[in-house]
Amino acid sequence: MDSIGLIPSFGNFFYTAVAFVIALSVIVAIHEFGHYIVGRWSGIHAEVFSLGFGPKLWSRTDKRGTRWQIAVLPLGGYVKFLGDANAASAGADQATMSALSPEERRHTMHGAPLWARAATVAAGPVFNFILSILIFSAMFLYAGTPTDKPVIGGFHSLPGGSGQIEAGDTILAIEGTPTPDWAALMAAVDTLPAKDPLTYRILRNGKELTLTGPSIYPARADNIVPGSAAADAGLMRDDVIVAADGSPVRRFADLQTAVRAAEGRPVLLSMWRAGKTFEVTLSPRKTDQPTADGGFETRYLIGLSGAVFFDPATRKVGPVEAVKGAALQTWVIAKSSVSGLWHIITGAISACNLRGPLSIAEVSGAAASQGSSDFIWFIAVLSTAVGLMNLFPIPMLDGGHLVFHAYEWATGRPLPDSVLNVVMMAGLFVVLSLMGFGLFNDFSCP
């Protein structure tokens, strides 16, 4: 291949790398700022606040004596407090500590009260969760939430159009099945006949009408999972699958049936995109999917999700409702992450579900390519994951430091330096092993 042929690949790589660096930098900056600001409020002096590792690209020292810097390797960051032996706050710099007065030692991480040290350590993950909640809240405030009744706000393009239904219509029933709210409408999806068009009873301008419309849940791609078979095949949001292996696909359930029946073999899909038709062949992949009861099930999937054929009408939400919804969203992400990790450890699901930086970068680029809202949503999800990971009781991570502080609180004395050095090395080995395993999966897992 000549050098000109490499330009598209390089462009995609560059786009992915930039998206990854932006997402990671925002999350790391918030995490480390949590350590910094709570440490400052607790009377602990920060000597260095670094975004990235390695040689400095830029630095500035503020009036409090803290050096703020951006380093060349944008894969993390740290806050080095007065008296720390290293950026991980793993042990004290005895030479520095011995030269300080008792009053000055109070402003070090190792000379501060236990409550101040614990609060400073916990602040990093907590600020990650706060970032997630703030982002989710802002998006809920901006987008609103669907109205209680299934009211049509707008349409997505479909091969047969929207039939006789118009924006502003309230769906009262589909094929005789009442749909007084969203729960009833979604429950009806699985019971409706596999035909197109369907008969709708709607409310329009105070009058009830019986009209025809498309399948309530067509085989329209509402979201493409990054790194999936659908993504690799070039499918895009709002693509409509009209046939699978020659059989008509009138609803999303028909597509699911065809994918399950293939059991991993290639499936020929006939596609419709903005009035044009084309075909694509892709192979469903075994995927571990979370279930409602907190478990997982392994299914063959192509990596796209569907939705109803229209955009629901929305109502505004207040700050309290938005924050509640955002907190619940953050909790669900954290809970499913812990559940997934536990199922990997117990062997219930494939270890390929644990991925490394290359997969995260790929998802970053894919989210950015789908639009700013998807990218911002991804940052919120990743921030929750980073906050949760840092709470794991592994030395070198914030959770490990909190375990040390709990030991000190319970025994009245800190962990001996000789023991601390050993467990920190063990923690470093665990962290590097996990990173290496994730990177190995990035290359070896489909």
| Alpha helices (runs of H) in 92-166, residue ranges in sequence order | 94-98, 102-105, 114-143
Residues 215, 221, 225, 227, CA torsion sign: positive
| Alpha helices (runs of H) in 287-394, residue ranges in sequence order | 319-345, 357-369, 372-390
What kind and span of H or E run contains 311?
strand 310-312
**Residue 360 near residue 382, CB atoms below 8 Å:** yes
Please report the pLDDT score of residue 281 as a whole number.
Answer: 94
Shortest CA distance to 125 belongs to which of 334, 390, 377?
390
Instruction: Give the global pTM.
Output: 0.87
**Residue 239 near residue 220, CB atoms below 8 Å:** yes
Distance between CA atoms of 92 and 76, rounded to whole angstroms? 22
Distance between CA atoms of 377 and 363, rounded to whole angstroms? 12
Residues designated as active site: 32
**C-alpha distance from residue 319 to each of 131, 331, 333, 373, 384 (Å):** 15, 18, 21, 19, 21
- Torsion angle, CA of 258/260/262/268, rounded to 10 degrees? 40
Name the packing angle between helices 114-143 and 398-411 (round to 10°). 140
Q: Which two tokens stand for residue 322?
A: 């938005």
- Cβ count within 10 A of residue 133: 23
**Residue 269 near residue 243, CB atoms below 8 Å:** yes
Distance between CA atoms of 56 and 41, rounded to whole angstroms? 27
Q: At residue 268, what are phi and psi to the nearest 5 degrees?
A: -90, 115
Q: At residue 266, what are phi and psi to the nearest 5 degrees?
A: -60, 140
Helix (H, G, I), strand (E, B) or coil at 249: coil
Helix, strand, coil percentages, rounded to 5, for the chain: 45, 25, 30
Distance between CA atoms of 239 and 249, rounded to whole angstroms? 13
Residues of the chain with confidence (pLDDT) below 70: 1-12, 86-91
What kind and span of H or E run contains 49?
strand 46-61
Shortest CA distance to 105 belongs to which of 119, 84, 121, 125?
84
Distance between CA atoms of 254 and 358, rounded to whole angstroms? 34
Distance between CA atoms of 52 and 61, rounded to whole angstroms? 17
Q: How far is CA 122 from the centre of its chain?
A: 21
* Residue carrying structure tokens 């025994």: 411
